[in-house]
Structure 1
């Protein structure tokens, strides 16, 4: 069973993503509302098998965290209401992305695609 890191600054969205990931049968590596907490979760243990990341986390772009995950050779799926970023077209072009609000089917397909 894959472990999923989930990062979103909106507590209700984070809770919904956690419940969806668990309902899909995946483990939750960590859940964070800040980029700093998510980076700490990686540095204090092993990296997640896959990460679901909001792009704007508390007013800060998630790119530093995404880079750390990619450096570990792990896939990233961006879950955001704004998928129009230069970084998504260039540096993270191979990463998955889901437009908010995301359905459980979209999340399931994105995680499965990222892991394969």
Structure 2
């Protein structure tokens, strides 16, 4: 594959920093409560959040602040799992209004031959 003048090949020196907030939650199977969460801004070096214990409400407030200025949310099983848990824990989160990109839904595009991606 060669680069064209319109679409040069990415080099290792090329930076990729989408204006998104990547989110991952860990939720208890029995109590369905958020036990930990992590988030990272792709466009703001060092802008991240890690919550493992303590005041969940305060952590969700910090998560919402971290989402300020983001164009979209990114996560694995974000739409069917993480976002409903966030909405249940704090329905007034502003980040819930952002578009969501779910890598679970993108996975079959990258790996269509995996048996668990087949619909029939």
Pairwise same-fold verdict (TM > 0.5): no
When the two structures are superposed, what TM-score results if normalisation uses the length of structure 2?
A: 0.33
Structure with larger Rg: 2
When the two structures are superposed, what TM-score results if normalisation uses the length of structure 1?
A: 0.34
